[in-house]
Amino acid sequence: MKAYVGIDVGTTNTKVGVVTKKGLENVYKFQTFKKKIDGVELFDMDRIEMAVRKTLKTIRESYRIVGIACTSVGESVVPVASNEKLHDPIVWYDTCTKPLYEEYHHLVNRLAPYSVSGSRDIYYYSLYKILYMQRNGIVELDKVERWLPVSSYIAYKLTGNAVWDMTQAYRSHMVDIHRRCWNEELLKAFNIPIDQLGRLDYTSSFVGYHDDTPVFLAGHDHLTGTYGLISLFGSELIFDSMGTASYTVGVATEKDNEFHMESPFMKTGGNVGIAFQDRQYYLASGMRFYGKLIEMTLKLFGFEVSSKRFERLNDSISQIPTDPVFYIFTNGDNIVGEDVDGINFVQIPPDCSQGQTLQSVYLYLCYASRITVETLRRLLGDLPIVLGGALVENKVFMKYKASMLGEPLYCLSTTELTTLGAAIAAITGAEDEETLQSLREKITFQRIEPHPQDVLRMNELYERMNEQYQKILQRRGGQ
């Protein structure tokens, strides 16, 4: 049977999905291998690539693979030459690049302002990882043939061809989102030759062949999930992708330069990025700590996410609370933005129980989601919300979220939307409309309904949290 393969190199796990006309038939999962050198966390690309190749070999024993595409986390870049890596890439969230960001951000802001880059300058973008490797003698710049994001590196190793997906180029902070090309002035200032970055193209573009199998382009993981969703069901939706981090995104085609913005559309951020065709943009806001915040909270209790102890604790808080016990803000959220480091629990009482702690985490995440959705709807219209990612399986959290947003939410019957999105990039690239249509018929949505009484209580909580966060921010501003 013919099949398409979607590869998703995530922060924690790598997944390889097999998609046929029947849907997502199988998902192979292995750990995304990492290592530390001199205190810097790196993706171990040799082990990741070896596991991908081994999985492809296993899949070929049962299927005839007719298309492959790979998506991955953003920001991490691999220096390559002569079809080999020169060094493993720095994991996207590692803080080793902060000193370089502090040294250069004034220059970067001048050469890559929001009106060109569509985002605020942040330390973990690919630009700073390239500078870090150069500054610390990890690679010699003149020895590098290409810098590639992880998703493009896998495609490069399979085909020998180097191509950047536009959605990954956006996460480098080195691209002009409106001209859809590299930012020549910025690269010149840092002596990075444009040739070392290479060709840009859209998701689903042809890259090359691997053992006579065509390989197509996919990009940043959250956006590849979005691509799969709108390829099947159209762009009239807001996609809330909830993994280790979260990304809430809507896609629209520009008519009158309305997305040529001079400043962020949210108080603490908001990204305007390159989507999947000319003049098409995505508007999005993300949170670095989403599922990760729940996971870290459970670790404080000595729980595993998949444990019976967590299930019992989760069931015990299934009723919507009357008030958060304490307040939270984290680095990169839409409450404080980049003005804080790490995770901050504010006004936490000494007798706070495990259930109260988990409830407060849920309320914080739901509150932040509502801020983002309301802002996006002011720009894109009153679109329905589709959820994706592993947190969809947390029914208690989904109930909180539907009640906080005050409306039904929709999620696909699979939680592996990013892996599916990569396979759909291959299906679209192969122009296999028959398989796409079959997937539209096979893949269904689940509807998460809030109880009207819970919506009323959550509205009261939302207003109360608004007031309290304003007080907290005022006090912080006066320090």
Question: Any bridge partners for residue 250, and if so which?
Answer: 238, 283
pLDDT category at 235 given cuts 50, 70, 90 is confident
The predicted structure's pLDDT at residue 132: 97
Q: Specify the pairing of strand 445-448 against strand 409-412.
A: antiparallel
Mean of pLDDT values over 120-137: 95
The predicted structure's pLDDT at residue 128: 98
The predicted structure's pLDDT at residue 477: 64
What's the rounded Cα separation, in Å, for the pair 60 and 56? Answer: 6
Domain count, the chain: 1
Per cent of the chain over pLDDT 90 is 79
Instruction: Indicate if the pLDDT at residue 430 is higher than 80.
Output: yes
Lookup result for tokens 């001048």 = 110
Q: Say which residues have a Cβ less than 8 Å from residue 478's Cβ, sequence separation at least 6.
A: none
> Which is nearest to 417 in space by CA: 62, 67, 23, 74?
23
The predicted structure's pLDDT at residue 339: 74
Residue 252 lies in a domain: no
pLDDT category at 247 given cuts 50, 70, 90 is confident
Lookup result for tokens 């009239």 = 236
pLDDT (tens digit per residue) in 296-327: 999 999 988 888 999 999 999 988 887 889 99
CATH number for 158: 3.30.420.40
Per cent of the chain over pLDDT 70 is 99
pLDDT category at 442 given cuts 50, 70, 90 is confident
Instruction: Indicate if the pLDDT at residue 7 is higher than 90.
Output: yes
The predicted structure's pLDDT at residue 415: 73
Mean of pLDDT values over 80-103: 96
Mean of pLDDT values over 269-297: 92
pLDDT category at 429 given cuts 50, 70, 90 is very high
pLDDT category at 437 given cuts 50, 70, 90 is very high
Classify 83 in phi/psi space as left (phi over 0), alpha (psi -120 to 50) or beta: left
CB under 8 Å, gap of 24 or more: what pairs does 113-116 form? 114/261, 114/262, 114/263, 114/264, 115/260, 115/261, 115/262, 116/176, 116/177, 116/178, 116/183
Instruction: Indicate if the pLDDT at residue 41 is higher than 80.
Output: yes
Mean pLDDT across the chain = 93
Instruction: Indicate if the pLDDT at residue 140 is higher than 70.
Output: yes
pLDDT category at 478 given cuts 50, 70, 90 is low
Extract the tokens encoding 316: 């015990």
Instruction: Indicate if the pLDDT at residue 96 is higher than 90.
Output: yes
- Which of 71-80, 260-269, 272-281 comes out lowest in average pLDDT? 260-269
Residue 113 lies in a domain: yes
Domain that holds residue 95: 2-221
pLDDT (tens digit per residue) in 178-203: 999 999 999 999 999 999 998 999 99
Residue 161 lies in a domain: yes
What pTM did the predictor assign?
Answer: 0.87
Mean of pLDDT values over 130-147: 94
Helices and strands in the chain: count of H runs, count of E runs? 15, 24
Residue 148 lies in a domain: yes
Q: Are 11 and 150 in contact (CB under 8 A)?
A: no
pLDDT category at 248 given cuts 50, 70, 90 is very high
The predicted structure's pLDDT at residue 445: 86
Instruction: Indicate if the pLDDT at residue 479 is higher than 60.
Output: no
Residue 274 lies in a domain: no
